[in-house]
Structure 1
Amino acid sequence: MKTCLVSLVSDQTIPNILVALHFRPDFLLFFSTKKMEEKVKTKAILDTLLMRGLDYTSNYHVFQVNENSLLDLQQQFIDWTAKTGDAYNYIVNLTCGNKLMSLSAYDLFKEYEATMVYVPIPRNEFLIPFPKHRPKEPTLLKERLSVEEYLTAYGFSINNKSKTIKNFQKAKERRKITEFIINRYEVLQELFYTFIQDLRELIKKFPKNGYAYSLGKTLKNDSEREMLKLFGFGYENGKFIKNLDKSECRFLCGGWLEEYVYIAVEEALGIKGNVMIGVEAIDRKGNKNEFDVIFTYENSLNLIECKSLDPDEGSEFKVGIIDFYYKLGALRRNFGLTPNAYLATTSKEVYDQTGNIKPHLIERGKQFNITLVPYDKLKNIKEFLSKT
Structure 2
Amino acid sequence: MTTTIHLCIATGQNAANFIPLKQLGAQTIWILETPDMQKQHSAKNLTQALKQALPEAQVRTLAFDDSTPAAMQAAALQLACDELDGQHVIFHATGGTKLMVLAIHQQLLNLQSGAGSYRLLYADTAHQTLSWLDEAPRQEPMADVVTLNEQLLLRGYRSSNDTRPAAIQQRASERAKVTKFMGEKSAQLQGFLGALNFHARQAADGKSLTQEFNYLPRAQSPAGKLLELAEEQALLSINEAYSQITFANAEVAEYFCGGWVEEYVFLKFTGTLAPTQYTLGAQITQIQSKNPNEIDGIAVANNRALIIECKAKKQDQAQDAIYKLGQLVKQVGGLMARGLYVSARQVSEPDRNRAREYGVDVLAADELAKLSDYLRQWKSNASQ
Shorter-chain TM-score tier: 0.7 to 0.9
The corresponding residue for 1:135 is: 137
SS at match of 2:29: strand
Contact 1:266 1:274 in 2 (8 A): no
Alignment of 1:280 with 2:283, yes or no, is yes
Alpha-carbon deviation of 1:187? 5.0
SS at match of 2:32: strand
The corresponding residue for 1:301 is: 305
Measured against aligned partners, the alpha-carbon deviations of 1:327-376 in whole angstroms (never above 9, x if no partner) come to 424663799565211222232353xxxxxxx3x34432332222222333
Distance (Å, rounded) in 1 between the aligned partners of 2:163 and 2:358: 31
Distance 1:300 1:107, change over 3 A: same
Alignment of 1:252 with 2:248, yes or no, is no
Structure 2 length-normalised TM: 0.81
Q: Which one-letter code corresponds to 1:339 in the other structure?
A: A
The corresponding residue for 2:92 is: 93
Distance 1:38 1:167, change over 3 A: farther
Q: Which one-letter code corresponds to 2:137 in the other structure?
A: P
Alpha-carbon deviation of 1:286? 1.9
SS at match of 2:305: strand
SS at match of 1:128: strand
Distance (Å, rounded) in 1 between the aligned partners of 2:18 and 2:262: 31
Distance 1:29 1:233, change over 3 A: closer
Contact 1:187 1:223 in 2 (8 A): no
The corresponding residue for 1:314 is: none
Distance 1:155 1:302, change over 3 A: same
Match of residue 74, structure 1, among 67, 76, 88: 76
Q: Which one-letter code corresponds to 2:211 in the other structure?
A: L
Alignment of 1:119 with 2:116, yes or no, is no
The corresponding residue for 1:182 is: 183
The corresponding residue for 2:216 is: 219
Q: Which one-letter code corresponds to 2:212 in the other structure?
A: G
**Where do 5+ consecutive residues of structure 1 fail to align?**
311-316, 351-357
Alpha-carbon deviation of 1:307? 2.2
The corresponding residue for 1:354 is: none
Contact 1:164 1:279 in 2 (8 A): no
Identity %: 17
Contact 1:154 1:337 in 2 (8 A): no
Alignment of 1:323 with 2:321, yes or no, is yes
Q: Which one-letter code corresponds to 1:94 in the other structure?
A: A
The corresponding residue for 1:36 is: 37
Measured against aligned partners, the alpha-carbon deviations of 1:48-72 in whole angstroms (never above 9, x if no partner) come to 122224244x542322432543314
SS at match of 1:123: coil
Q: Which one-letter code corresponds to 2:339 in the other structure?
A: A
The corresponding residue for 2:221 is: none
Once the two structures are overlaid, the 10-residue window that deviates more, 15-24 or 183-192, is 183-192
SS at match of 1:257: helix
Distance 1:166 1:90, change over 3 A: farther
Structure 1 length-normalised TM: 0.80
**Where do 5+ consecutive residues of structure 2 fail to align?**
112-116, 219-223, 379-384
Q: Which one-letter code corresponds to 2:175 in the other structure?
A: R
Alpha-carbon deviation of 1:73? 3.0
Distance (Å, rounded) in 1 between the aligned partners of 2:41 and 2:168: 31
For the aligned residue pairs, the C-alpha RMSD in angstroms reads: 3.1
Distance (Å, rounded) in 2 between the aligned partners of 1:170 and 1:111: 64
The corresponding residue for 2:60 is: 60
Alpha-carbon deviation of 1:101? 1.9
SS at match of 1:118: strand
The corresponding residue for 2:346 is: 348
Alpha-carbon deviation of 1:199? 4.7
Q: Which one-letter code corresponds to 1:60 in the other structure?
A: R
Distance (Å, rounded) in 1 between the aligned partners of 2:347 and 2:185: 19
Distance 1:384 1:332, change over 3 A: closer
Distance 1:214 1:334, change over 3 A: closer
User: Structure 1 residue runs of 4+, over 6 Å off?
Assistant: none
Alpha-carbon deviation of 1:224? 3.7
Distance (Å, rounded) in 2 between the aligned partners of 1:366 and 1:78: 45
Alpha-carbon deviation of 1:275? 1.7
SS at match of 1:347: coil
Q: Which one-letter code corresponds to 1:373 in the other structure?
A: L
Once the two structures are overlaid, the 10-residue window that deviates more, 184-193 or 155-164, is 184-193
SS at match of 2:366: helix
Distance 1:366 1:179, change over 3 A: same
